[in-house]
Amino acid sequence: MKRLLLSVLCSVSLLAHAQQAPVPPATPQYRPGYHFSPAAHWMNDPNGMVYYEGTYHLFYQYYPDASVWGPMHWGHATSTDLVSWKELPIALFPDSLGYIFSGSAVVDAKNTSGFGKDGKTPLVAIFTHHDPKGEKAGTHTFQNQSLAYSLDAGKTWTKYAGNPMLKNPGIHDFRDPKVSWSEVAKKWIMTLATKDRITFFSSPNLKDWTKESEFGEKLGAHGGVWECPDLFPLTLNGKTHWVLIVNLNPGGPNGGSGTQYFVGSFDGHKFTPLNDKTKWADYGPDNYAGVTWANTGARKIFLGWMSNWEYANQVPTSPWRNATTIPRELGLRQVGSEIYLTSQPVKELAKLSPRPAVVLRNLKASTSAVNLTNRLQFTGDKFSLDLSTAQLRDFALVLSNTAGEELRIGYDAKARQYFVDRRKAGPSGFSTKFAGRHTTPRLATLPAADLTLFFDATSVELFADGGLSTGTELFFPSKPFTAIRLEAPEGMTMQRLAYSQLASPLLKQAD
């Protein structure tokens, strides 16, 4: 989230510089078309996501005074279809208790909090108050959990007079509460990131909290601090399993930020994993701090921050900086003895296709590259590709432009890895950590394979084998990619390759 460079970024000198710095030239060529990003300024973690009365509410970490990280607010956007978004006024502002860090929101349908009045159902936001003065003073109690509520379906918010409602017991990193109702325990359960582990709390009313258990001290990846957790059930073959998502920074599988997960059981008090294997929800470098929407029933819809703390403050976009991933529907799949989390683009994204796909069938590739540019009627920078083959072998799809830049996406059969290579995909001098070839292991074991790719101006999201293997990647070409070719040095047949141009829903502003 905000994290390793936090003390530096919080300094008065940097913030003053950020506010006074001239705005770089606008980069409309890099503006995503169907991924949410604010019209201007900095964003990071999506948080407080809740579905209510036909509307998806997206809150997010936002700094409205510059395009680098600063004092955190909760930005706010809404959608009725997960495709078109309307940017609304800021929902929560910093106050005397500190900045407004990440958290969650719930529909308190039973009015357990007592915030509801005149029959109005309260939406309740649970978030971390981060006190920069306490951090600067060297205390270990500068992060505490607080509440705010809305009685007008999320339009306006009132902070709870009793904030903070869960005080820090002396843990340096004590943040990012994800709250949900437990039918088993008949209580609210808070999943909280506490330094290098997760702590579970319970409450009957969202105001009074009791510690239940801890998880993860010696399990999973610990290359950085744990944060932005989520806990939810998913069903596989009629059996309910619980998934615990834990983001961490650094320590991701391809460097910097990453999102790991555990599959296990939860009895209302304690989470027990099926095993101690470290698994990743996305192997690419640019999917972080992802959590799910609340109040969507059995359907679990995930959204991440499409960047990496290694270079998030430096990516060359203006007047905005950073965006979210596309919404993804989560599921479970068993491969051998292991149960994995699957991630697929939500079905609503089909609305983005204004015309039928161009489909090539039984496309044979051999030692020489196959130019697909004209055959696919390839144009634009917002499109999807769907590929399927009965026998997966080495291959690469290569996007290129007249500047000699190219983005390579494919599969390495010997290593059993999908890859995205952005080393030659455009300027990367803004960070020594950006250029690279990043890999995603293939978890499926059958010879047949499918691959879906979503492109949007400066990003590609890879979903392989029904969402078993996923990777998210940014790139910044100096000119648009205008050509596409298929390379398969050992020969391969694509049973189907479909190309769909995607529309760009306009970001609406609040009235």
Instruction: Point out the residues that are catalytic.
Output: 45
- Residue 352's SS3 state is helix
DSSP secondary structure string for all residues of 265-300: EE-SS-EEES----EEEE-SSS-EEEEE-BS-TT--
Is-contact 104 193, C-beta < 8 A?
no
In angstroms, the CA 385 to CA 369 distance is 18
Where does residue 264 rank: exposed (0-12), middle (13-18), buried (19+ CB within 10 A)?
A: middle
Pairing, β 86-92 against β 508-509? parallel
- Rounded to whole angstroms, the Cα distance separating 243 from 237 reads 15
Asked if residues 113 and 206 have their Cβ atoms less than 8 Å apart, the reply is yes
CA quadruple 50, 53, 54, 59: dihedral sign: negative
User: Do residues 37 and 327 lie in contact, with contact meaning Cβ atoms separated by under 8 Å?
Assistant: no
| Cβ atoms of 84 and 508 closer than 8 Å | yes
Dihedral, CA atoms, 475, 480, 481, 483, nearest 10 degrees?
Answer: 180
Which tokens in the block code for residue 480? 């648009």
Spatial distance between the Cα atoms of 156 and 158, rounded to a whole number of angstroms: 7
Three-state DSSP state, 163: coil
